[in-house]
Structure 1
């Protein structure tokens, strides 16, 4: 669907060129509109980049690849060695990855009986908004779905219509694995999910696409905007993008830009990542050091928030799962593997969920899982061998080294700066509205 363009990082201006042209009207106008386009288009470009990179074989160690309108099941529950480039990946479920193009009509998905095994098929539209099928929506019953995009098409008899707002969508499915002995059954059920529809070209080797260091960014954004229906309230914004040469009514051509336009747009690409990162994660709720935002699943027209969410990793609908995160301890100091911590759950204060819960530690810089001698990367209500107190309470021990009290309740943490994510799958209403509060991460000296 998209093709890489031979535009490389050398197209971005250096600091001297930026300073010299800082007051030139043509440059500043291109930079201003270009930066707006960079922020607005961040999820679109990131999605199209990943679509290329995951429907082609771009790395020797690539965990999965599949043609458009097909999917691939990850070979196992993720570990530091198999997580690839996923940010904040879980270690609770098998992942299913696929890209769908509904422009030629519906694509059919047949899901087998899942019983009480939790699963979700999370479809991300091209604006990065999640849409879910699974345990929460069908109770685990075998169901035949027809994915329908804006291009429409007939839904075959016996299929449940599932509308998506964009023809391009990314599937990141999750199927629960209770423990290592349960993994073969989780794999069997994952592979039993069948897709019917016109498949794209077979997977072949290709160069990885990276549009974030060149004017290829605006080539991809232009291609993406052409695929999308106009959104109410964005008419003036699209008019500005058209005037800058990368809007939906244009054919972006980097070679046709004036020197001033080229400099301005290159400047926008160069500073765009810094602008988005400065927005940062702003929780709507912080209790006992655990941060949560109720806005990230549907940012609306807050394009900067939308971009920041995508930069940090995609999210689910809150009713499906919430991910409270902690970066500080009970003393307000940053979490680090140089210290030891404890999380104490009273017997009547376990995370309230309809499916399951877990806690995972990640390296602060990479947001990825890190190696540990036990090979355990998450701990939660399904962890084999957990030891509860006589009163039913539970203590989770967090340290970088093997704790003296044994490994039954141990969650290994990275040796340096890290953060924690607690996952609540099918959270109860009190977890969604803030009545339930996770316990503090207590520093143990």
Structure 2
């Protein structure tokens, strides 16, 4: 198979598989709390799967590993290997707190959820199985059964947390109760050879790409309606792969929402035939959950289409009763455009939203947010911007209401002041 068009198509179709396997290598743990290191060799690619890892604090401007991170939740992370049988996930009673465990298949489809929106906040037990089936149920039964389309699943968890030390400790205690086991009650953890250095984000060699994708395909076959020509000739892959990787990094295909806002990701549970967007998101925004769980409208320009810049002051004004409509909460988060990271500022505020202490509304009920580098003074809701530098903002909507999901909501633009 040497036709350039067909090779390019096959690379675009399979790139999500490669990127998911790279992320598995980058985010799985070397050490298990009781079983020790997967390998004593620091350069080994052996890692533990079927094991939770957690962050215990919200990210700040000194954290540089994740671009466009949220400033609302702490994260839980796990990679499931279902090739040896089902995995049982136990989660505690979460009170009335927002939380979600989003499950992505190896093709980056966000196919299932456990959490506040879908299964509630009660103590629950979830059995996840692969194509081989669920097998015998654990003693005492389960709350729900999730069928994964392949043997590899990325589980990304988010739990809402306040900045108060007591709340951080409360969430840490909840995370400690997240457990994975086999139906017989034994620990589900497995050693797994990721065969990759997950820190390398540039285009791999043709041989590494092909071997990684072929291994992933054996465990995660394409959907019945996915037309995939495979295998590819190594020389054809070597000629096109760097170009495809670079093109996908540069491409921008957001869903225009009006008012200078755009939605980078508009998937629900499956990408379907939109394989180009699937590849672009895998290259740039991998791990995105479906919009029914969370939407992230993004603004890089003001009401007149000019690039947002900290040399100027802006106002974002929501009319009375016309603020974001959500089932959980919303926040507006600031990022420096040059590196997509938080901006250090005098008040240590990286986002503002409906949970921000002291948020003020106008007499008529409208909500105005000042977005600027200098303090606008008392009486204003202030989201600090970087001085004299381009920036963008993300309006994070958790459990967005129907008018957001149907793209009927009218997003107000950021208007330059003065």
1:302-321 correspondence runs (5 A): 302-313=274-285, 314-321=287-294
Cα separation, 2, equivalents of 1:296 and 1:208: 25
Change (3 A) 1:78 1:339: same
Aligned residue among 211, 214, 234 for 2:205: 214
In the other structure, the counterpart of 1:158 is 141
Cα separation, 2, equivalents of 1:114 and 1:392: 32
Change (3 A) 1:124 1:266: same
Contact 2:342 2:350 in 1 (8 A): yes
Contact 1:31 1:265 in 2 (8 A): no
In the other structure, the counterpart of 1:107 is 87
In the other structure, the counterpart of 1:265 is 237
Secondary structure of the structure 1 residue equivalent to 2:52: strand
1:171-190 correspondence runs (5 A): 171-181=155-165, 182-190=167-175
Offset of residue 271 of structure 1: 0.3
Secondary structure of the structure 1 residue equivalent to 2:358: coil
Cα separation, 1, equivalents of 2:192 and 2:169: 27
Offset of residue 229 of structure 1: 2.4
User: If the length of structure 2 is used for normalisation, what is the TM-score?
Assistant: 0.86
Cα separation, 1, equivalents of 2:62 and 2:363: 38
Long gaps (5+) in structure 1: 1-25, 59-64, 246-260
Cα separation, 2, equivalents of 1:364 and 1:68: 35
Greater Cα shift, 151-160 or 38-47: 151-160
Aligned residue among 49, 62, 70 for 1:90: 70
Aligned residue among 342, 353, 358 for 1:385: 358
Cα separation, 1, equivalents of 2:175 and 2:411: 32
Aligned residue among 101, 108, 123 for 1:128: 108
Contact 1:179 1:382 in 2 (8 A): no
1:2-41 correspondence runs (5 A): 29=2, 31-41=4-14
Offset of residue 207 of structure 1: 5.1
Aligned residue among 310, 327, 332 for 1:337: 310
Cα separation, 1, equivalents of 2:343 and 2:49: 31
In the other structure, the counterpart of 2:61 is 80
Cα separation, 1, equivalents of 2:226 and 2:279: 17
Per residue, is there more helix in 1 or in 2?
Answer: 1
Greater Cα shift, 177-186 or 137-146: 177-186
Contact 2:298 2:392 in 1 (8 A): yes
1:425-444 correspondence runs (5 A): 425-444=398-417
Offset of residue 399 of structure 1: 1.4
Contact 1:124 1:170 in 2 (8 A): yes
| CA offsets 1:46-103 (integer angstroms, 9 cap, x no match) | 1101111222559xxxxxx972001111131111223x42232111011111111111
**Alignment size in residue pairs:** 389
Change (3 A) 1:40 1:346: same
In the other structure, the counterpart of 1:231 is 223
Change (3 A) 1:113 1:213: same
Change (3 A) 1:32 1:85: farther
User: If the length of structure 1 is used for normalisation, what is the TM-score?
Assistant: 0.81
Offset of residue 328 of structure 1: 0.8
Contact 1:48 1:220 in 2 (8 A): yes
Contact 2:99 2:160 in 1 (8 A): yes
Change (3 A) 1:150 1:365: farther
In the other structure, the counterpart of 2:52 is 71
Long gaps (5+) in structure 2: 32-45, 183-187
Secondary structure of the structure 2 residue equivalent to 1:271: helix
Offset of residue 293 of structure 1: 6.2
In the other structure, the counterpart of 2:191 is 201
Contact 1:342 1:441 in 2 (8 A): yes
Offset of residue 407 of structure 1: 8.9
Contact 2:10 2:230 in 1 (8 A): yes
Contact 1:66 1:98 in 2 (8 A): no
Contact 1:33 1:241 in 2 (8 A): no
Change (3 A) 1:165 1:388: same
Cα separation, 2, equivalents of 1:228 and 1:349: 44
Secondary structure of the structure 1 residue equivalent to 2:190: coil
